[in-house]
């Protein structure tokens, strides 16, 4: 005998309705209307079990906006699915206690933002949604004599798919810097509240300039651009530093307009722009097991973004890569018209601000559903 639940219309069955709703884009705006249909639908989309299934189904959290260090405009810009007013206000109100100076964004990853003081004396790990933050003092051995610094905030296990749901979990901060002809790194763990041992390796004399742009987390390693032809690798598992070569033509062709990223399949990749063309590279192993760089895609941006063909002034770059999503699924491009966000997989794009002064942005990815949904 068929049960009454099996005979009920699909939208009257909670399990079937959940299977339908979980396929909506994982944005707060996607669930505003369903939540207003009736009390049962509202209860369903607010159920913690449904939110867990939503995260598991989509896996990769959406990029809902980005932070930046320009003092002349709100420091958070929403791109989709939410209002950025509350987060922008919270970012504006961040002040370094006792110093009166602003904090500078360094990294956004796994639902957290990492900021630094101007002199790198202190770091701040901040959850933009809850407002919870942890102040970390950087040891003298890290700061003293450092010529270039960068840093990243990570989940302790290197979870790449946590979707920002790990905000109550411990975290690690990796600081990397150069001094003379050596690269150094040191890891802070919130589990112990202490810094680990300083790790170092020599670098070629021409490869000692560390980029200020955010790095990429691939597998169990962090990567940053170093010098004109190298990528600095730090493996969290064995706490080792190493150098990875970039494609030989990268520097001369792309003029530093290049970013390191993680691509599909957790592969080390590069995004670079030459004039109006976005090139996506991946480091892959061939049939013999030899790893090499492969150019996967070239996207002509001038036609796609409907950019004017007028040449920029001498020395300027018409399209600049300002930021990338954690999974390389979103690219932020500064143009002479303003900042665009591009989803390479679907080739969708939109302008998010006409501000042309932002050089580097820090995309913020989150499964975010406010209490008032």
Q: Which of 34, 58, 60 has its CA nearest to residue 263?
A: 60
Confidence of residue 2 (pLDDT cuts 50, 70, 90): low
3-state SS, residue 236: coil
Distance separating alpha carbons of residues 125 and 151, to the nearest angstrom: 11
Distance separating alpha carbons of residues 178 and 53, to the nearest angstrom: 43
Q: Please report, rounded to a whole number, the percentage of residues in the chain having pLDDT higher than 70.
A: 82
pLDDT at position 161, please? 44
Residue 187 forms beta bridges with which residues?
A: 174
Interior angle at CA 224, CA 262 and CA 131, nearest 5: 75
**What are 290-302's pLDDT values in tens digits?**
888 989 899 999 8
Query: Both ends of the chain: CA-CA distance in Å?
Result: 40
Structure tokens at 198: 């300083």
Distance separating alpha carbons of residues 340 and 354, to the nearest angstrom: 9
Tell whether the model's pLDDT for residue 158 goes beyond 50. no
How many CA atoms lie less than 13 Å away from 342 in the CB half-sphere?
26
Q: What is the DSSP string of 156-211?
A: TT--SS-TTTTTTS--EEEEEEEETTEEEEEEEETTTTEE---EEEE--TT---B-
Buried b (16+ CB within 10 A) or exposed e, 194-228: ebeeebeeebeeebbebbebbbbbbeebbbbbbbe
Tell whether the model's pLDDT for residue 39 goes beyond 90. no
Give the pTM: 0.85
Instruction: Identify the DSSP state of 113.
Output: E
Tell whether the model's pLDDT for residue 248 goes beyond 70. no
**What are 318-337's pLDDT values in tens digits?**
899 999 998 888 999 999 88
3-state helix, strand, coil in the chain (%, to 5): 20, 40, 45
Q: Which of 245, 216, 221 has its CA nearest to residue 235?
A: 221
Residue with tokens 């939540």: 35
């Amino acid at each position: 005998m068929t049960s009454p639940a099996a005979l009920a219309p699909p939208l009257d069955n909670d399990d079937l309705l959940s299977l339908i709703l979980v396929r909506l884009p994982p944005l707060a705006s996607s669930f505003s209307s369903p939540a207003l249909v009736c009390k049962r639908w509202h209860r369903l989309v607010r159920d913690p079990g449904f939110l867990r299934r939503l995260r598991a189904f989509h896996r990769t959290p959406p990029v809902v906006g980005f932070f930046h260090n320009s003092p002349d405009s709100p420091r958070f810009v929403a791109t989709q699915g939410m209002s950025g007013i509350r987060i922008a206000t919270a970012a504006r109100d961040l002040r370094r206690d006792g110093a009166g100076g602003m904090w500078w964004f360094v990294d956004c990853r796994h639902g957290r933002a990492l900021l630094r003081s101007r002199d790198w004396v202190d770091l701040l790990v901040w959850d933009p949604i809850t407002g919870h933050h942890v102040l970390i003092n950087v040891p003298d051995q890290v700061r003293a004599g450092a010529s270039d610094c960068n840093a990243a905030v990570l989940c302790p296990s290197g979870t790449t798919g946590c979707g920002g749901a790990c905000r109550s979990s411990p975290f690690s901060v990796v600081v990397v810097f150069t001094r003379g002809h050596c690269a150094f790194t040191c890891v802070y763990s919130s589990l112990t509240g202490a810094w680990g041992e300083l790790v170092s390796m020599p670098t070629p004399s021409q490869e000692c300039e560390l980029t200020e742009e955010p790095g990429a987390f691939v597998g169990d390693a962090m990567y940053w651009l170093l010098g004109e032809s190298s990528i600095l690798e730090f493996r969290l598992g064995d706490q080792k530093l190493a150098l990875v070569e970039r494609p030989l033509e990268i520097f001369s062709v792309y003029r530093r307009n290049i970013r390191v990223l993680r691509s599909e399949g957790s592969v080390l990749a590069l995004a670079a722009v030459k004039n109006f063309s976005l090139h996506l590279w991946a480091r892959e192993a061939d049939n013999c097991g030899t790893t090499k760089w492969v150019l996967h895609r070239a996207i002509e941006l001038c036609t796609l973004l409907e950019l004017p063909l007028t040449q920029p002034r001498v020395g300027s770059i018409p399209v600049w890569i300002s930021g990338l999503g954690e999974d390389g699924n979103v690219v932020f491009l500064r143009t002479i018209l303003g900042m665009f966000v591009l989803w390479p997989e679907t080739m969708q794009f939109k302008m998010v601000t006409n501000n042309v002064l932002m050089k580097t942005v820090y995309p913020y990815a989150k499964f975010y559903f406010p209490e008032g949904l």
